[in-house]
Structure 1
Amino acid sequence: MATAKPLYDRLKKNITAYSPEEAREMAFMLLDHYFGLRKTDVLTDKPLPPNRTEPDWFKILERLNRQEPIQHVIGTTIFCGLEFEVSPDVLIPRPETEDLVRLIMHDFADRTDDVPIVDIGTGSGCIAITLSRFLPQSVVTGWDVSEEALELARHNAQSLNADVTFAIQDILNVPADFAHRFDCVVSNPPYVTRSEAAEMDRNVLDYEPGLALFVEDNDPLVFYKAVADFCVRHLTKDGACYVEINERFGDATRQVFADRGFSRIQVYKDIHGKDRSIRATF
C-alpha cells in the first residue's frame, strides 16, 4: 500500500530551485492539494487515498523548478481560510494583506447597520470577498482596471458564495459625477518601484502581472495620492481608509494622508518589523 511519507520525501528532494525549507513546505502543499493530506497525515505516513488520480508529478516538478509559483501550478491559494483561484492575471494574495483585512474586520465587527466598502484594485477579489464573507453587514464593491482580473474575481465570489459587486474602474480617473460614499476604502495598489525589480525573485517577476506590481520611480506614491483624494470626496466622516504600503515609503505615505486632512494616521508593521499598512481617518 502506497503511503504519504515516501512520496513527500521524493517531491521534497526533487524541488531543487528553492531552499530545503521552501521545498519542504511545497511538498506539503502538493499532498494537501491533490490528496487532502495534512502535515500530520504525511509525517505519520498515512496511506495515500486508494482511489486517487495521480497528477503528472514530472510536469509539476518541472514547473516548480522553473520557479513558477506553486499557487499557479495548483491553481489556488488560501487567504484568510478561504480558497481562491489565482492566475497570472492577478497578484497572488499574501499574508501581509491578510493582516490588513483582519484589521478592517476588527474595526467594523460591532457595526449592525450597512457598511459600504470599496476595494480599489481588487485583483483576485481576495480582500472584497473575505470582507463580504466575514462582515455580514458589509456592502462591498471591488474595482479593477483589468477585465481578466475582474472575471476571476467574479468567479471566486461565486465559488465562495460572496455578494460583491465588481466593476471596471481606474482610481486615477474616477468620473467627476461619481456620488457614492463609503465607510471603508481599502486598497493594495501597485507600490513596487521599477528600480526595485532587480532585487525581486523570478517567481514574482516572471509570473505575476506588472500592472498590479509596479509604479514609476519618479512618482511612487501616485496611487496613494489618488486613493487619499478619492477619500476626501467619498469617505464618510466617521469612515476609515486602509492601504498596504511599500516599506520604503512609510513616512512619505503617511504624509500623503496628512496633507489631505486626515487627523489620525496609524502605520502598522508586518511580522518582519517593516512598515506595511496604514489606517487613516478624518
Structure 2
Amino acid sequence: MAVSSNQKTGFHARSNSFPSRPNPIITQLDEHLCRSRTSEGASTSSSLGGKLSSLQDLHDCVNKLLLLPLTQQAIAQENNGKWVDELLDGSLQVLDLCNTAKDALLQTKECVYELQSILRRKGCREVGLTSEVKKYLTWRKIVNKAIHKALKGMQNKDNFSTSNGDHETTTIFNMIKEVEVVSLKELHSLLSFISGPKAKTTGWSLVSKLVHHKKVAYADEETDINEFSKVDAALLALVDQNTSRSDKIKGVQSHLESLELCIQDLESGLECLFRNLIKNRVSLLNILNHY
C-alpha cells in the first residue's frame, strides 16, 4: 500500500506549515510520520515488530490529538461531510486488516502447536505423519486465501478528498489520513510476510508437486525467506518418502520453534495496536455523537 510522493510531500508541507508554535502533540505526530516515511526496506520478523511498535506510537499520538479541543471542534464542524466519512471508513479498514492479521496468526499458531505435538508423538516412524503435514499446508492455503481477499479489498484505498476547510482543519485531517495510509501499508507488508512468497502454490498443489521434485529441502534456507516459508519448505522435504526423515524431523522442529517465537512477537504487537485502534475509533465516534 504505497504512499505516493505527492501525498507524502503534501502531508509534510501542510504539517510543517502549521502555526510557528504548534501543539506539542501535533509536532510529535509529525515526527513519527517523518520516521515512518523513511522506514522502507525488506520485511523481516524483527523489522515488522519494530514497525508495529511505531504504529502503536502513531495511533497513541492520534488518540491524544483527538482529545484536543481544536481537533474535536474541527471534526464536529465537518460532521456528515465527506472528510469525516473518509476518516470513519479509513479507521474501519485499518481495524479490519489488523483483525485479519490477528486471525491469520492465531490459526497458524494453533496449527503449529498441533503439528509440534504430533511430531513429538509420532516421530518419523508412522506413515500418518504425511497426512498431518498435508493438513497443515492445507490450513496455510486457507489462511492465505483470507489474506489475499483482505489485501485485494485494500486496493485503491489511499485517495482522499481535497478540503475547503481552514488551515488548521486541513492539517489535522490530513495528518490523521496519513496515519491511516501508513497503517494500511504496514499491515499490508505484515500480511504479505505471513502468506510468504510461496502463497500462490501452498497447499495440496505444493504437496502433489513433491512427487516430481525430490530436491525440495533446505536449498532456500540460507536465502532471505521468512519463518513461515522455511516451515513450508521443511515440511515439503519431510514428506518426501524417498529420503531419510530423522534429520529432517529435527530441522522441522527447529523451524517450528522459530515460527512459534515469531508469531508470539507479532501477536503481541498486533494486540497492542488493535487496542489503540479501537480506542481511536471510539474517540472519533464520541466526538461525532456529542458535538
**For the superposition of Structure 1 and Structure 2, which TM-score range results when normalised by the shorter chain?**
under 0.3
TM-score, normalised relative to structure 1: 0.22
Between structures 1 and 2, the one with greater strand share: 1
TM-score, normalised relative to structure 2: 0.22
- Structure number with the bigger relative contact order (C-alpha 8 A, sep ≥ 6) is 2
